[in-house]
Amino acid sequence: MSSVKNMSHACRYGAQGVAQRVVFSILGILFLFTGVSWAGNLPVRVAVSIAPQAYFVSQIGGKRVHVIVLLPPGANPATFEPKARTLLSLTRAKLYFRIHVPFEEAWMKKFQAVNRKMRVIDTTKGIAVVHGDPHIWLAPALVERQAKTICDALENLDPSGKGEYKRNLGRFKQRLMELKRKINERFKNLKRRVFLAYHPCWGYFAREFGLTQMAIEQGGKAPGAAALSEIMKAARLHGIHCVFAQPQFDTRSAGIVASQIHGRLVLIDPLAKNWDENLLKVTEEMAQCLER
């Protein structure tokens, strides 16, 4: 299986120089006019980088938390640059659940600078991250570990809600078990189990469910002619008819590869808000392609 390289290699990291000074100047003005207050304990304000994390935190926190998602719908996590108002939203956050997507890596020091009271919780704790690949939210088994980290952090911050957080965690684990059962059931009779992704973000998902991900992009870059030729040979060898791409990235190159293998381009979203429903949708798309 082609292991994804550190996604951050493909990024154009955050605003630099003059652009950064302008952002923080604007932020300072906004502070003066908004009258930021730390009053009140509930709901606990929690910040996350991407929508799937918001889903996990909401499942554990319920009505006791208010989740702020930094990456807007449709934005590319490799090139996203937060605006001043996005930074302002962090000033009332008590926790930031970190997952190491590229824009987060580039901006984390700035996030902490605007709110030094905000605790940063690393949700990759206890997880073996492969070659810097941050896409651990796409494997339910790894999500269960993240959920425990989220639960522990919420309990520490809000001890009065400990019982509720634990109950919610238990219910969420049950839903994860059912989700895994459904995915395994759909994949169990597949004879072909190798799929082709343009951007290699499905490695953890593939590993959990006995599939193999082949990646077109290598180290965050499009392949050269020789590498692309090898990919085409491997695709024909494994009877691959689909190229999976994500809608947040430019899909033209993926479409060209799909046409060259006489297949089709299939868009699947690793950043969808309705995480569990989305994984079932992705499972069906992959199964249909592998059954051809």
**What is the domain-level CATH number for residue 258?**
3.40.50.1980
**Residue 136 in domain:** yes
**Residue 218's pLDDT band (cuts 50, 70, 90):** confident
Say yes or no: 99 and 161 in one domain: yes
Instruction: Give the DSSP per-residue string, 67-109.
Output: EEE-SPTT--TTT----HHHHHHGGG-SEEEE---HHHHHHHH
pLDDT-derived band at 117 (thresholds 50, 70, 90) equals very high
Give the whole-angstrom CA distance, residue 266 versus residue 280: 15
The verdict on 90 and 228 lying in the same domain is no
Look at residues 122, 155, 183 and tell me which one is the last residue of a structural domain: 183
Is residue 2 included in any domain, yes or no? no
> Does 111 reside within a domain?
yes
Q: What's residue 21's pLDDT?
A: 52
- Mean pLDDT for 202-211 is 98
Residue 5 CB contacts under 8 Å (≥ 6 apart), including other chains: 131, 132, 133, 218, 219, 220
Instruction: Evaluate if residue 275 carries a pLDDT over 90.
Output: yes
Domain co-membership, 11 together with 75 = yes
* Structural domains of the chain, count: 2
- pLDDT over 90 (residue 224): no
3-state secondary structure of 270: coil
Q: Which residues, other chains included, contact 226 with Cβ-Cβ below 8 Å and sequence gap of 6+?
A: none
Domain boundary among 159, 183, 207: 183
**What is the rounded average pLDDT of the residues 7-30?**
45
Count CB-CB contacts under 10 A for residue 85.
11
In a domain, 24, yes or no: yes
Question: Does residue 33 surpass a pLDDT of 50?
Answer: no
Q: Are residues 154 and 22 in the same domain?
A: yes
Predicted structure pTM score: 0.85
Q: pLDDT tens-digit profile of 170-193?
A: 999 999 999 999 999 999 999 999
Residues 100 and 20 in one domain: yes
